Amino acid sequence: MSGLSTVLVPAAGGPVIPHYGGASKCIVENHQFCASWFFDNFSTRFEPRLWEHLELTAIAIGIGSVLAFSAAILAYKANWFTTPFSLVAAFLYTIPSLAFFEIMVPITGINRTSAEIALVSYTLLILFRNALAGLQGVPAATKEAAAAMGLTPRQSLFRVELPLALPAIMAGLRIATVTIISLATVAAYIGAGGLGEPIFDAIQTGFKTEFIAAGVMAILLAIVVDIMLVGVQRLITPWSRRRVRVT
């Protein structure tokens, strides 16, 4: 629980929030949501956490992508690799998140690294499965055409097969990202920072406004990032939107 000691909100027994001398009625009576307190404290208590959260997510997705996509390409080229990697990824995926973070603490300590290792592990199954499915879904005729035109296997992979797998890869990326944004809140338990910090804090103190503000921000973050990824997907797969024109 030492991770929580870094939190700024004074957490003592008795009254929920004893240190707000000039606090409004809303705060003193601990209403569901005190908007003015939220806006007053946004830049100091929430904004840094939001950025931390994004960073946690981005690092996990970035490293997870590199690992999962490399594994997917390997499995696509060498079929035997699919089962062992799927098994490991599926095993990691089944570990309850709180347990996973706890397991990492004796190994890598109470810090970001522990959190990231767990988060990366959760991305692998989703990213790998989708990328592999996308690659395997490339029509045989398209690959035959590429080979017959004299593309080398590498050119075919990078110019034809991977671009055609993009919709499936992006679908996996969206699911993984939303999942990680959600799981990253739990990572605050081992001191990784992020929006989980105010949530854990509010659970301790019972301060409803802080709890709801951080929770809603995590949800909004997931929605906004997902919408942005949809935008990216549209941008990089313009062909998938245009459909057959009747002639």
Partner 1 sequence: MAEGTAATEPGKLERSAPAEIAFKDVVKQYPGREQAAVQKLSFTVPPGEICVLIGPSGCGKTTALKMVNRLISITDGDITIDGQSVRGLELTKLRRGIGYVFQQIGLFPHLTVEGNIGSVPRLLGWSKQRIRDRSSELLELVGLDPKTDLKRYPGEFSGGQQQRIGVARAMAADPPIMLMDEPFGAIDPIARERLQNDFLRLHHQVRKTVIFVTHDIDEAIKMGDRIAIMRDGHLVQMDTADEILAHPADEFVASFVGADRGLKRLRVRTLEDLELGPANGAGPSEPSLRRRTSLHDALSTMLAEGTSEIQVTDDDGNVLGSASLDMIARLIAPDEEISTA
Query: What residues line the site for partner 1 (CB under 8 A)?
Result: 139-142, 144-152, 155, 160, 163-164, 166, 237-240, 242-245, 247
Q: Could you give the dihedral angle defined by the CA atoms of residues 37, 31, 214 and 44, in that order, rounded to the nearest 10 degrees?
A: 20
Shortest distance, CB of residue 167 to partner 1, whole angstroms?
10
Is residue 52 a contact partner of residue 112, using CB atoms and an 8 Å limit? no
Which residue has tokens 């024109």?
A: 245
Express the helix, strand and coil content of the chain in percent, nearest 5 each. 80, 0, 20
CB closer to partner 1 out of 76 and 85 = 76
Q: Output the six-digit token pair for 96.
A: 């309850």
Classify residue 222 as exposed, middle or buried by CB count within 10 Å of its CB (0-12, 13-18, 19+).
middle
Separation in Å, CA 19 to CA 10, 15, 204: 7, 9, 15
* Min CB(247)–partner 1 separation in Å: 4
Residue 70 or 142: the one with the smaller Cβ distance to partner 1 is: 142
Residue 13 or 238: which CB sits closer to partner 1? 238
Q: In angstroms, rounded to a whole number, what is the distance separating the alpha carbons of residues 36 and 43?
A: 13
CA dihedral in degrees (232, 234, 237, 240; nearest 10)? Answer: 160
Q: Hey, what's the torsion of the CAs at 51, 57, 62, 66, to 10 degrees?
A: 170
Q: Are 101 and 116 in contact, with CB atoms under 8 Å apart? A: no
Q: Which is nearer to partner 1, 149 or 216 (CB)?
A: 149
